[in-house]
Amino acid sequence: MGTGWAQQDAPPARGGSHGGSSRAQASNYTPVSRDELARWDDAWRKADVREQRDGFAAKPDGTYIGQIKIARIDRTKSEGTPMLVIGLNILAGPASGEHMHRRVMGNSDQVKYVKQDLYNLGLDIGMLSALPDYLPSLIDVCVEFSLKTNTKNGKTYQNCYLNRALDPSDIDAAIAEIGALDDNDVPF
């Protein structure tokens, strides 16, 4: 007989309290039994875990299809310099269903990468100072992008290359070519 996840038999939470006390008090809360979770034990054992790098899970290298959900100019935490931030929902590729951000720092060495990214996405703007006017047009654009892991001076990092914006009529074919997330792959 399975028991519910009562507070006394729940493992200690990592990174904060996620115990069931406040949720268990909600009137529509139904405890999940260990037997229910056991349905996915085999999938759990087979699931690969990606190594963490600087607090983030590295995504597998490869080609992806994503949809831009964030396009903004932000500031770096360390120096406060402007940077372009592109947030993507991954629609197809080795990390389908996940999210990622492409951040390009705003310094003179990196401006060429910002310009290339925007050009690849169909924006050929005359001046960087005009960029804020164009960022809203990138929201919901589907793009093909690539991830490649590199090591330099003993430090491993992952580059994200925005290859091209996809014409809306080409999105389904591009997703099919790369491979979309199958509902059967996700147990929930």
Q: In the prediction, which pLDDT does 112 show? A: 87
- Report whether pLDDT(181) > 80: no
Other Cβ atoms closer than 10 A to 116: 13
Q: Tens of pLDDT along 56-72? A: 567 888 899 999 999 99
Q: In the prediction, which pLDDT does 164 show? A: 93
Domains and CATH numbers, the chain: 1-47 (no CATH), 52-182 (2.40.50)
- Report the candidate in 181, 137, 148 with the shortest Cα–Cα distance to residue 59: 148
CA–CA separation, 1 vs 170, rounded Å? Answer: 51
Question: In Å, how far from its chain's centre is CA 28?
Answer: 31
Residue 110 tokens read as 């990196």
Q: Tens of pLDDT along 122-174? A: 988 888 888 898 999 999 999 999 999 888 888 888 888 999 999 988 888 88
CA–CA separation, 54 vs 113, rounded Å? Answer: 23
This prediction has a pTM of: 0.64
Q: What is the mean pLDDT of residues 29-57?
A: 64
Residue 142: half-sphere exposure toward Cβ, Cα within 13 Å: 15
Q: Which one is predicted more confidently, 114 or 179? A: 114
Residue 143 tokens read as 């793009």
Q: What is the mean pLDDT of residues 76-102?
A: 87
- Report whether pLDDT(84) > 70: yes
Q: Tens of pLDDT along 13-25? A: 434 433 444 444 4
| Cross-strand partners of 88 | 68, 100
Q: In the prediction, which pLDDT does 140 show? A: 95
CA–CA separation, 149 vs 157, rounded Å? Answer: 6
CA–CA separation, 141 vs 131, rounded Å? Answer: 16
Residue with structure tokens 């931030």?
85
Other Cβ atoms closer than 10 A to 144: 22
